[in-house]
């Protein structure tokens, strides 16, 4: 029997009324491997993290479609049984570009992605001064995504994201999401929510419609800090902790660098922390076993 595609798996999780899908934000093979080892049943590829890890550049719309797709493909295929939701930003151009982005994400093995209404030269959703495209242009992006999914017979989950809250207010942001789901988007994601009351209002607005709500929790922003249980209680179906790996990497690596610079010495970890341990997280045992079998003439 063919393995269930990751997008179907994500859809099954979405259909489970008792489940909240908890996604740590990962941005490279290393953080993805750590999240997989941690037992998460879905992952999120953060565009901000991808931009910083691949380009060394802040989240200001610099990562290209190809860079994003390549990173998503690598992460999605480390363990294809764990669905990956990947950031698709603005879709990287006009409707035909969005269509191509979706086609490439589908063949990359991405289970779901979000598409937003910022201008192509976008910025992180939690920064001030975001500029938006018109409702109609946003809807053309959503339509392009839905059409390409249909054309390719894919089940990929389309998450409509709006960044309209900051400059156009709650009602316009909600209307944009409602319009996007009417066009065929599967999930509603209001970006950069500022109060718990807004969280409740979005969830209430989609209650009973069959449209799940996604929430983006980024530590250190205005967005209310929700635990998984709090998110579940209010009716959120997918919670993404986009900066979950980014922040601790910054903190601990900076500390180790400072120690070397200031004291000429290294950080001390337990004896069990060695290159061997981190190679293990990255599949060393399976790779060596595969190698051994081939070298010993063992055919599977
Ligand atoms: C969700 C997000 O798009 C991402 O790239 O992870 C970012 C998160 C961040 O900047 O930390 C966002 O725009 O909210």
Per-residue buried b or exposed e for 144-159, using 16+ beta carbons within 10 Å of the residue's own CB? bbbbbbeeeebbbbbb
Please give the pLDDT value at position 131.
97
For each of the chain's 300 residues, which pLDDT tens digit applies? 556 799 999 999 999 999 999 999 999 999 999 999 999 999 999 999 999 999 999 999 999 999 999 999 999 999 999 999 999 999 999 999 999 999 999 999 999 999 999 999 999 999 999 999 999 999 999 999 999 999 999 999 999 999 999 999 999 999 999 999 999 999 999 999 999 999 999 999 999 999 999 999 998 999 999 999 999 999 999 999 999 999 999 999 999 999 999 999 998 888 788 899 999 999 999 999 999 999 998 777
Instruction: Tell me how crowded residue 5 is: count the other CB atoms within 10 A of its CB.
Output: 17
pTM attached to this predicted model: 0.96
Atom of ligand 1 nearest to the CA of 242: 6
Judge if the beta carbon of residue 25 lies within 6 A of ligand 1.
yes
Judge if the beta carbon of residue 163 lies within 6 A of ligand 1.
no
Q: How far is the CA of 263 from the centre of ligand 1 (A)?
A: 35
Q: How far is the CA of 11 from the centre of ligand 1 (A)?
A: 23
Please give the pLDDT value at position 3.
64
Domain layout of the chain by residue ranges: 6-250, 269-300
Please give the pLDDT value at position 298.
78
Judge if the beta carbon of residue 125 lies within 6 A of ligand 1.
yes
Q: Which fold has domain 6-250?
A: TIM Barrel (3.20.20)
């Amino acid at each position: 029997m063919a393995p269930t595609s990751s997008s179907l798996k994500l859809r099954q999780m979405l259909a489970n009324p008792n489940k909240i899908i908890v996604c740590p934000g990962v941005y490279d093979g290393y953080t993805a491997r750590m999240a997989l080892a941690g037992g998460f049943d879905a992952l999120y590829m953060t565009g901000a993290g991808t931009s910083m890890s691949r380009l060394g550049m802040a989240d200001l719309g610099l990562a290209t479609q190809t860079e994003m797709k390549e990173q998503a493909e690598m992460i999605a295929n480390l363990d294809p049984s764990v669905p990956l939701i990947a950031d698709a930003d603005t879709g990287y151009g006009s409707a035909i570009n969005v269509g191509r982005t979706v086609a490439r994400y589908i063949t990359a093995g991405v289970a779901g992605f979000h598409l937003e209404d910022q201008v192509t030269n976008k910025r992180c959703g939690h920064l001030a001064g975001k500029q938006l495209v018109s409702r109609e242009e946003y809807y053309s992006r959503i339509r392009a995504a839905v059409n390409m999914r249909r054309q390719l017979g894919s089940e990929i989950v389309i998450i409509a994201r709006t960044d309209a809250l900051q400059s156009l207010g709650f009602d316009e942001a909600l209307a944009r999401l409602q319009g996007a789901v009417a066009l065929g988007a599967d999930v509603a994601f209001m970006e950069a929510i500022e109060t718990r009351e807004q969280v409740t209002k979005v969830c209430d607005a989609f209650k009973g419609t069959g449209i799940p709500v996604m929430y983006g929790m980024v530590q250190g922003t205005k967005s209310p800090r929700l635990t998984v249980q709090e998110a579940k209680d209010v009716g959120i179906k997918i919670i993404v902790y986009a900066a979950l790996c980014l922040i601790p990497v910054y903190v601990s690596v900076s500390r180790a660098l400072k120690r070397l610079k200031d004291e000429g010495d290294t950080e001390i970890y337990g004896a069990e922390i060695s290159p061997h341990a981190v190679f293990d997280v990255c599949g060393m045992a399976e790779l060596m076993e595969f190698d051994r079998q081939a070298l010993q003439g063992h055919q599977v």
